[in-house]
Amino acid sequence: MIMKDTIVLGGSSGFHLAYRVSKLLGATLGDIEVKSFPDGETYIRIISDVKDKTVIYINSLQPSPNDKIIETLYTLETIRDLGASKVLAVIPYMAYARQDERFNPGEAVSISILSKLFRALDIDAIYTIDMHLHRIRDPTKLFGAKFHNLTGVRELAKYIKKNYSIENTVVIGPDEEAEQWAKIMAEELGGIEYTVLEKKRISAEEVIIETRDINVKDKNIIIVDDIISTGGTMVEAIKAIKKLGAKEIIATCIHPLLVNKAYYKLLKLEPKDLIGTDTVLSPISKVSVAPTIVEEIKKNL
């Protein structure tokens, strides 16, 4: 299927996905120029002709989320201003989703502010992948009905099914929030057993993982979580599961931010594999969410 009137544009953290999405859609891959002026201000230029076209713009808000937010907002507004007939924004990783409440007096509720900036844009739809949902369960209450929160877990499961045996395997979420992803992973792998651990957060980088009454001795384990940031949660989960006598461990996540020494800390634990998606490019981004994005976008084309 060739989509002559559809252009896919990739921002500085989205070009890899823009390329893959354009190939799957049979759409034109367009060009954008993004650079910084000497004083740090952002320069945006849409090189491709977008007038009267459907434009799919893809950019993750990592790394350097503040810069990526400005780049993304400026680009989306410019696309519409240049006469695009339809503008679809794909934000594979939505920054600031974890700052969804005022924990201390005077704090900014960052995701609420960010959602207002996106709602002010004249765009037709926003797509993201596994936005971190804790206290805010329904992101459409922030971003509006045109917001679509997709999941990359099914693509992770397909990769595992293709490359590994799932015999004698249990899926584990490192905390209660991760149960939603553990459930999807277990279903996609044929309805195998799944459970979750209990997490107590000490600080932004330190957590304690406590195990429930689960039997993983001599079993293969797939851990699934939405984000690996500093690696604290995944590291403690792997340690806890090893103490229970697990055989082999595959650690997976949707968004492999891998800040500081997270990748190094995980490698030291020698899991059978570390697998992330390409919502954010990293050394473990082995699975693409492009098929998931394309499947949903086709509904709006």
What's the burial of 83, exposed, middle or buried (CB within 10 Å: 0-12/13-18/19+)? exposed
Measured CA to CA, the distance from residue 7 to residue 30 in angstroms comes to 6
Q: How far apart are CA 20 and CA 123, in angstroms?
A: 22
Largest CA distance in the chain: 60
Q: Is residue 247 among the annotated active site residues?
A: no
Cα-to-chain-centroid distance, residue 119? 20
User: Which of the following is catalytic: 199, 247, 286, 299?
Assistant: 199
202-205 own/partner pairs: CB under 8 Å, 24+ apart: 204/230, 205/230, 205/232, 205/260
Just list the catalytic residues. Answer: 199
